[in-house]
Amino acid sequence: MGKPRIGFIGLGTMGRPMALRLLEAGYEVMVSDRRPEATRALEAVGAIAMPTPLLVADRADVLMSCLPTDNELFEVYIGPEGALEHLRPGAIVIDFSTATPMMIQRIAADAALRQIQVVDAPVCGGPVEAQQGRLTLIVGAEPAVFEQVLSILQVLGQEIHLVGGPGMGKVIKLVHNLIAGSALVLIGEALTLAANAGADLHKVFEVVRSSSGDWQLWNEVVPELLRPPTPVANFRLDLMKKDLELAVRLGADLGSPVPLTALSHQFYVAASAQGMGQAPAHEVARIIARLGNAHLERAAPLLDLAADGGQGDGA
């Protein structure tokens, strides 16, 4: 039996390199995107470009999507011209979007009525990991369906975790980004305090890295913050703002408090309002630094800790 025909909808920062990986692995890949230039670029390397998702769905055995929000997922799959009505019984949908678990569960319920299976597979990693097939995939699917698509997922991901049924992939992705997004705010707070105390931030980085505070996000982000800001974004600040908002909404729906996430989200709102939405997500730390009148990329003047007679807070 030959390889399934794959349709791919959404050729943005992540979708494009994922579709390229599938082409390189020898799959027939049909693509559709609102931007004609995105489909033309993939057509030049062997993809079959189609003007609408419906035409992709008509021919696909496996329909994949990597879309920004619930609105696009609804429009593509179950809106007035939804792709589910054009997929044949037995087809499989694999969605890589970071969106709400409720939307993918709604799509899965509608798909089941048409004998179509849905795999919920949001990803962790950036464009470089996507190009190299080193993404982490958080998969929500029925075990039998997971086994059917595992060989395809292995083209895209190095770490593949089956975490439950459709919807649970998106729950765990939101939990992942809740931790990362809030931690970036905390990193900004810590570096700002250190800078205002006159600490050498490079020494702060080294000490934390070599002690119990060591973790991957710290090691990757702090060196970037100690340099002038860069416009190159693997993961944009506005995307983290969106994901934290989704986590806050999920918490409200479940009656599960997420106060620190809600507070962290406001810093992303502030950064976006200042025109930083297309910058890397870690640039939110500079918003904290501005509040503290600190500059992370250069040394702050040494604080005279004896200025108050060494009394401190008494805590």
Please identify every residue annotated as catalytic.
173
Residue 136 CB coordination number (10 Å): 16
Comparing CA positions, the residue from 140, 199, 212, 205 lying closest to residue 173 is 140
Distance CA 264, CA 255 (A): 19
Beta strands at 29-32 and 48-49: parallel, antiparallel or unpaired: parallel
Query: From the CB of residue 158, how many other CB atoms can be counted at a distance below 10 Å?
Result: 13
CB 83 within 8 A of CB 89: no
Q: Strand runs (DSSP E) across 142-207, as ranges? A: 157-164
Half-sphere exposure of 170 (CA within 13 A, CB side): 25
